[in-house]
């Protein structure tokens, strides 16, 4: 029989990535080291991490006297139905076995909480780190949309063993994940304390990283009906039409400068100048962006879709390695993954399957760039600059040639006039 009573789109927060996002790079959504939650629980290639989960569980239980597995599972069983509502595709999961499902929640939840504590150097006195492999491998898997537990489960486990002087779990996540993600102007844990974001409003770790990345960005209000569904020229074509590119400069110099640093999304186009924040492309960049985009695309309540719109804008701006080279020369892109064509491929594919909406974040920049290129004088002026004033020497030669032409013309006219007389 169909279970119609428990159907809810709005309660789902942890999704299997849809096929049109996944097909261009399925690896970016699949854990390589550790499975968290039910979606990848049966992946036998990840079974090697089970011993670490058990070690973390033992450490978790040792943090508070009298705590045992059964009492923890008993607490988690109270939230089982609420947890199940968070997953949008659980038809093939064995959720009837309540004890086994809650055992998974405990084992995976303790792994996440204790891993974060360990990264923040909160090991029990006299004990060393349990995991000595590269932390980035674990952080990468904890950023995957399909590899999440509801935050209220993690928060409950944290509170069960929290010391009086221990920071809230959201702050611990900020102290650890922001170093791994490292996007421009991510909200600092100190700034996060001042926000009105409540732990009850946090869906999962990926959502929290999204909050850290987008907090403080202003929604662009527009009263005009701007049609942005147009093809914006790529960086090379814009340059040939006279558009200049520059890296956005941060304003530093005081202890509160973090509040006035540029965001990743602060792209502006004014008077023929496009300013874009510096973006460093590393090995895990594509995975991070893709999962943040997938979270935005499959959530009903995320507006604006900052990462989706950023990916769409960069996909238009970059068509080939020539565009990447131009932006790299301006300091806008820092390439740490190899050749420029690899960066071009990343941005060309990352926009596949991404839906944009009427509140597209960069529609004004799109319109201004297109209108700039449609003016013949801008392209003519750019061609003159490129062909005749590309360097001081070329410019001087051009000026000299013009002067010589003028003098020759005058001389010819004088000669003709004298002959007539």
- Backbone CA torsion sign across 5, 7, 13, 14: positive
8 Å CB contact between 221 and 303: no
Rounded to two decimals, the pTM is 0.86
263 near 217, Cβ under 8 Å? Answer: yes
CB 261 within 8 A of CB 251: yes
User: Using alpha carbons only, what angle is made at residue 100 by residues 40 and 3, rounded to the nearest 5 degrees?
Assistant: 80
For the record, the structure tokens of 318 come out as 């970059």
From residue 372, how far is each of 154, 184, 377 by CA, in Å?
A: 51, 28, 9
Count other Cβ atoms within 10 Å, centred on residue 370.
15
Q: Which tokens belong to 235?
A: 């960086």
Alpha helix positions (H), 260-299: 285-298
Q: How far apart are CA 122 and CA 85, in angstroms?
A: 33
Q: Do 205 and 212 touch, CB atoms closer than 8 A?
A: no
How many C-beta atoms lie closer than 10 Å to residue 77's C-beta? Answer: 15
Cα 107 from Cα 250, distance rounded (Å): 43
C-alpha angle with apex 216: 244 to 181, nearest 5 degrees? 75
SS3 87: strand
Can you give the pLDDT at residue 93?
59
Among 144, 155, 16, 14, which Cα is nearest to 84's? 14
Phi, psi of 267 (to 5 degrees): -95, 130
> Phi and psi dihedrals of 273, rounded to 5?
-115, 125
Are 374 and 238 spatial neighbours (Cβ–Cβ below 8 Å)? no
β-bridge mates for residue 14, sequence order: 87
* H-assigned helices in 234-283: 235-240
Find, among 324, 355, 317, the residue nearest to 338 by Cα.
324
Token pair listed for 383 = 């061609």
In the numeric block, the tokens 């428990």 are attached to: 6
Cα separation of 109 and 53, whole Å?
9
- Phi/psi-derived region of residue 37, left when phi > 0, alpha when psi is between -120 and 50, beta in every other case: left
Taken as a whole, the chain contains a residue count of: 421
Q: How does pLDDT run along the chain (421 residues), one tens digit per residue?
A: 455 555 555 679 999 999 999 999 999 999 999 999 999 999 999 999 999 999 999 999 999 999 999 999 999 999 999 999 999 877 655 556 778 999 999 999 999 999 999 999 999 888 889 998 888 999 999 999 999 999 999 999 999 999 999 999 999 998 898 888 877 767 666 666 656 568 889 999 999 999 988 877 766 655 455 545 668 999 999 998 889 999 998 654 444 433 445 789 999 999 999 999 999 999 999 999 999 999 999 999 998 899 999 999 999 999 999 999 999 999 999 999 999 999 999 999 999 999 988 889 999 999 999 988 887 645 544 444 444 444 555 445 555 556 667 767 777 777 777 666 5
Domain boundaries, the chain: 19-214, 235-377, 389-420
Q: Which two tokens stand for residue 55?
A: 């070690």
For tokens 């040792």, name the residue: 62
């Amino acid at each position: 029989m169909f279970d119609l009573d428990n159907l809810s789109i709005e309660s789902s927060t942890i999704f299997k990535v849809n096929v049109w996002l996944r097909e261009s790079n399925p690896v970016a959504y699949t854990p390589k080291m550790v499975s968290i939650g039910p979606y990848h629980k049966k992946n036998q290639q990840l079974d090697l991490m089970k011993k670490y989960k058990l070690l973390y569980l033992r450490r978790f239980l040792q943090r508070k006297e009298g705590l045992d597995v059964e009492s923890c599972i008993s607490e988690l069983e109270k939230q089982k139905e609420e947890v199940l509502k968070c997953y949008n595709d659980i038809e093939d999961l064995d959720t009837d076995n309540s004890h086994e499902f809650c055992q998974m929640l405990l084992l995976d939840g303790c792994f996440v909480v204790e891993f974060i504590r360990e990264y923040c150097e909160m090991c029990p006195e006299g004990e060393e780190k349990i995991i000595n492999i590269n932390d980035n491998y674990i952080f990468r898997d904890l950023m995957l949309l399909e590899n999440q537990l509801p935050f209220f489960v993690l928060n409950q486990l944290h509170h069960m063993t929290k010391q009086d002087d221990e920071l809230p779990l959201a702050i611990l996540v900020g102290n650890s994940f922001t170093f791994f993600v490292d996007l421009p102007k991510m909200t600092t844990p100190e700034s996060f304390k001042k926000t009105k974001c409540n732990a009850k409003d946090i869906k999962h770790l990926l959502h929290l990283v999204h909050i850290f990345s987008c907090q403080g960005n202003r929604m662009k209000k527009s009263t005009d009906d701007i049609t942005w569904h147009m093809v914006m020229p790529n960086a090379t074509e814009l340059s040939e039409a006279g558009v200049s590119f520059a890296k956005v400069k941060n304003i530093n110099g005081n202890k509160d400068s973090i509040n006035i640093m540029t965001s990743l999304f602060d792209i502006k186009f004014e008077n023929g100048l496009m300013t874009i924040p510096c973006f460093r492309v590393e090995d895990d960049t594509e995975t991070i962006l893709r999962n943040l985009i997938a979270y935005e695309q499959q959530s009903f309540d995320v507006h604006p879709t900052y990462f989706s719109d950023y990916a769409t804008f960069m996909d238009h701006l970059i068509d080939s390695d020539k565009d990447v080279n131009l932006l790299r020369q301006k300091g806008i892109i820092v390439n740490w993954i190899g050749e420029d064509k690899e960066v071009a491929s990343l941005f060309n594919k990352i926009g596949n399957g991404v839906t944009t909406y009427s509140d597209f974040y960069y529609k004004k920049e799109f319109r201004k760039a297109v209108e700039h290129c449609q003016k013949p004088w801008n392209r003519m002026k750019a061609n003159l600059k490129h062909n005749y004033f590309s360097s001081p020497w070329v410019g001087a030669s051009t000026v000299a040639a013009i002067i010589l032409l003028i003098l020759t013309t005058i001389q010819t006219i004088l000669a003709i006039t004298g002959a007539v007389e």
